[in-house]
Every structure is written in C-alpha cells, then in structure tokens.
C-alpha cells in the first residue's frame, strides 16, 4: 500500500515537472515586463531591487503557510509562480546590470537560470534541461511543505525560506556574471 502511494507521488511529481518545464517557464518569462525591471534597477539600484523581490517572495511564502493545510493547498501554486517570477526578475536585473542591455531572449535567459540551479546547460535549451530546472524547484518547495502545515509557524518558515531562496539565487547569479560591463560616457 505504501509503495503504491509513493509511486503516485512520483508520477504526480513527474507530471508537474513536465508541465512546469514545457509551458510554465515560457509563460512566466513572457509576462515579465523587461523594461520595468530595467527602470526599477536604474531607480533603486541592484541590491535594493533584489531585496524588493525577496520581500515579495517572502510575502507569498508567508501567506501559503499562514493557516496550515488549507492555505498551503490553495497558496502553494501561487507561491510557486510568484517565487519563479521573482527569481526570473532578479536574474534579468543582474543580467541588465552587468551587460547594460535589458532585452534578452528566452533561450539565453534559461541557460543562465539552468546554470544558477547547477543544471547542465548545453548549446541549445533542451527539454531535459528545462525538466531539470523544474525538478530542482519542486524538490526545493517540497522540502518545506511539511513545515508549512503548522499554522503561524508555517508562515514564518515559508516567508523566510522564500526570502533566503531569492537572496541565495541572486548571489549565485552575481558570481556567474563576475565581469560587469563598463559603459563609458563621452
């Protein structure tokens, strides 16, 4: 009986991983206004922009863990989308800050995201690479699910975990983009 339940969980995880990797990443990428990311970085600076994104991610994490099981079930999908959106915005901001250009294609962007998750990224964006990223994200969220079942404590854990995830991801992407682009003004 227990093995059957584990097989269902494994099948469900694979299904969600495939769904997220095929349509989800592209949809989230397409809905992010790249010029607003540029403007925000120009106005706030990179570190304040990263903090802002981390606080937004922390908010959805806290909400999804506030009321225990009910809010977790309803809030987790929203939390996943928000966490990915904030992570994508931070990655775009760092790329803009270091390169001086805010427009980038989906494939170029996903290669950097894959590298930041330590997923092997080849020359082309592949189905396997996208599924690897989705699997890492789902496993990261799944590890925190049990703690979110406890009301109030789950809010603290969810918010803190999301905040730290964004901050750590930003540091990882910054390390990959070590040589900033210097634009001389004459």
Separation between Cα atoms, residue 121 and residue 158, nearest integer Å: 29
φ, ψ at 89 (rounded to 5°) = -65, -40
pLDDT at position 74 over 60: yes
Of 10-24, 71-85, 114-128, 155-169, which has the strongest mean pLDDT?
155-169
pLDDT at position 52 over 70: yes
Query: CA angle, corner 18, sides to 13 and 21, nearest 5?
Result: 120
Separation between Cα atoms, residue 69 and residue 92, nearest integer Å: 34
pTM: 0.72
Separation between Cα atoms, residue 61 and residue 65, nearest integer Å: 6
Separation between Cα atoms, residue 135 and residue 116, nearest integer Å: 14
pLDDT at position 78 over 70: yes
pLDDT of residue 86: 92
Separation between Cα atoms, residue 186 and residue 184, nearest integer Å: 6
Which of 33, 153, 46, 25 lies closest to 90, judged by CA?
46
pLDDT at position 112 over 70: yes
pLDDT at position 12 over 80: no
């Amino acid at each position: 009986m227990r093995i059957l339940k584990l097989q269902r969980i494994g099948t469900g995880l694979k299904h969600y991983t495939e769904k997220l990797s095929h349509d989800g990443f592209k949809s989230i990428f397409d809905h992010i206004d790249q010029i607003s990311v540029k403007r925000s970085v120009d106005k706030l600076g990179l570190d304040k922009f990263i903090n802002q994104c981390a606080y937004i991610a922390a908010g959805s994490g806290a909400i999804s863990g506030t009321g225990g099981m009910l809010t977790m079930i309803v809030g987790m999908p929203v939390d996943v989308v928000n966490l990915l959106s904030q992570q994508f915005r931070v990655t775009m901001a760092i790329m803009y800050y270091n390169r001086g250009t805010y427009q980038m294609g989906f494939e170029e962007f996903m290669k950097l995201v894959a590298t930041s998750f330590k997923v092997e990224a080849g020359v082309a964006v592949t189905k396997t690479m996208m599924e690897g990223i989705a699997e890492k994200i789902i496993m990261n969220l799944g590890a925190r699910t049990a703690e979110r079942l406890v009301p109030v404590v789950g809010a603290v854990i969810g918010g803190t975990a999301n905040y730290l995830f964004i901050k750590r991801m930003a540091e990882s992407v910054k390390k990959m983009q070590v040589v900033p682009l210097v634009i001389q003004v004459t």
